[in-house]
Structure 1
Amino acid sequence: MPVIATEKDAEALTLAIVAEFSADVARVWQLWADPRRLERWWGPPTWPATFHALDLRPGGRATYVMTGPDGTQAGGVWEIVTAEAPTSLSFEDRFADERGEPNPDMPTTHVTVTLEAIGGDVDRTRMVVTSRFESVEQMEQLIAMGMEEGLREAIGQIDGLLVH
């Protein structure tokens, strides 16, 4: 299992998932940068994602839909803040309607992704995905909706993609 830690900090309003992979940083970055690869792991196994757009430039957007086992669909949109391939990415993560437009009634999460070689080993990468919330209530709401477990399960699929 690549996830080595989950760090919740109610004071800082953050949830961080730390994972390590037997692959170089550039290869792990491609799992974020290529929509076909991204949709193979973004979302838990029972809620796979389909990406309709992915533009990882500042000001760019990603839109996707996750489909549950009963056919229920949940849309999402990322508004890209920064992207410094292959080491970092930050975006505003929002729930979206069927047109890919942000749902103003749902919370926004501020996500930062960092990728770094572990201890100078070019074939090992540590990935930290940090979600920052706007309030304790928002953090509790999203964790109660399964965000923490969903991220752990989603990231848990990455090792299988790196062996091919």
Structure 2
Amino acid sequence: MPVTSVTSDVESLTMTLIADFPVGPERLWSVFTDPRQLERFWGPPGWPATFDTFDFSPGGWAKYHMTSPQGQNAGGTWQFTDIDAPRGFEVVDSFADADGNIIEDLPGSRMTFTFEATPQGSRLTSVSHFASAEALEQIIAMGAVEGSTLALNQLDAVLQDLRDYAQGKGTRIEVLSDQHVRITRLIDGPRELVWRAHTDPDLMRRWMLGPDGWRMTHREVDRREGGKYRIAWEPEPGTEGEAFGFDGEILLIDEPRRMVQTEHMTGTDYPSTVNDLSLYEEDGATLLTLLIAYPDAATRDMVLATGMVDGMEKSFQRLERELVH
């Protein structure tokens, strides 16, 4: 993981994050100064950012909001106070309301970003300066250490060419915490088609089948926020296994970028998960990212032990073969 340390110092009223990357400082500079690239990592998993304003000039403002799987928004602003390309820049960092106005009751800071070359690539050093020990303690209590670490650890996929990052690696899984797992897969095809493959019931039955020898028997999908869905499968004759299915509710739709839904195994008392699907296209290929929130580590381990990822890889291979090419 890129982040190597996050430390706080009550005497200097600072919080310092250090992260190392296998690319030059100019490449690192470019992702922090382009709002479209910032949106891919500025915000912890499950809270992606959208930059509504980005005036990268001394005195200019950047305004953004992060959206949770349940559709809640948390806003922020940067006012750029110093720019020293490509070595670093400084901002006044503040929390903001839905209209982009600074929330004075929440702790702001003066934040510096410094990019320097290392023998292995480059190092980011981000230092947040607070007005008081109380402000520093409050921001830490709000989860800033964990949130910033999870956010910056998403940068690997942004810094590399998308095909170089994911091509040929198949379906990959990362355990982020006791409750969160991230699954990624590069689909060699446009985002609009990958989106339709996940939302059109007729297309779903052609590829979303898991291992060979299964068929989709039920696909009732109401693709709107608050809509319900139910999907079921059964084994083909000669294939071992028992029929099963999932049902749930659509929590959030941002077509064709993001869809969040609950998932419950039909006919059981197993707890539901929250599945957060996002799609990012670059040069005709789409990076599919699925962030799954489990109720606890035991449920996470039980589900992963079923061979779920292997079944997903079979389905994605089928998607590319039957729908994209």
Q: TM-score range by the shorter chain?
A: over 0.9
Q: How many angstroms does 1:163 deviate by?
A: 1.9
User: Which structure 2 residue ranges, 5 or more long, are not aligned?
Assistant: 162-325
The TM-score normalised by the length of structure 1 is 0.94
The TM-score normalised by the length of structure 2 is 0.48
Look up the match of 2:137: 140
Helix, strand or coil for the counterpart of 2:151?
A: helix
**Residue 69 of structure 2 is aligned to residue 69 of structure 1:** yes
Q: How many angstroms does 1:67 deviate by?
A: 0.7
Look up the match of 1:107: 107
**Residue 124 of structure 2 is aligned to residue 127 of structure 1:** yes
Helix, strand or coil for the counterpart of 1:46?
A: coil
In structure 2, give the amino acid aligned to 1:96.
A
Q: How many angstroms does 1:101 deviate by?
A: 1.5
Q: How many angstroms does 1:126 deviate by?
A: 0.4
**Residue 47 of structure 2 is aligned to residue 47 of structure 1:** yes
How high is the sequence identity, in percent, across the aligned residues?
Answer: 43
Q: How many angstroms does 1:57 deviate by?
A: 1.1
Helix, strand or coil for the counterpart of 1:90?
A: strand
Helix, strand or coil for the counterpart of 1:141?
A: helix
Per-residue deviation, residues 63-114 of structure 1 (Å, max 9, x unmatched): 0001112111011011111111111111011111111121122221110000
Helix, strand or coil for the counterpart of 1:70?
A: coil
Per-residue deviation, residues 102-159 of structure 1 (Å, max 9, x unmatched): 11222211100000001xx4x6000001111111111111111111111111110111
Structure 1 distance, partners of 2:104, 2:133, is 18
In structure 1, give the amino acid aligned to 2:140.
I
Look up the match of 2:159: 162
Structure 2 distance, partners of 1:55, 1:21, is 26
Structure 1 distance, partners of 2:58, 2:146, is 29
Which protein has greater RCO, CA pairs closer than 8 Å, 6+ apart?
1
Look up the match of 1:22: 22
* Rg larger for: 2
The aligned length equals 161
In structure 2, give the amino acid aligned to 1:136.
A
Structure 2 distance, partners of 1:71, 1:133, is 30
- Detail structure 1 runs of 4+ shifted over 3 Å in the superposition: none
Structure 2 distance, partners of 1:103, 1:86, is 31
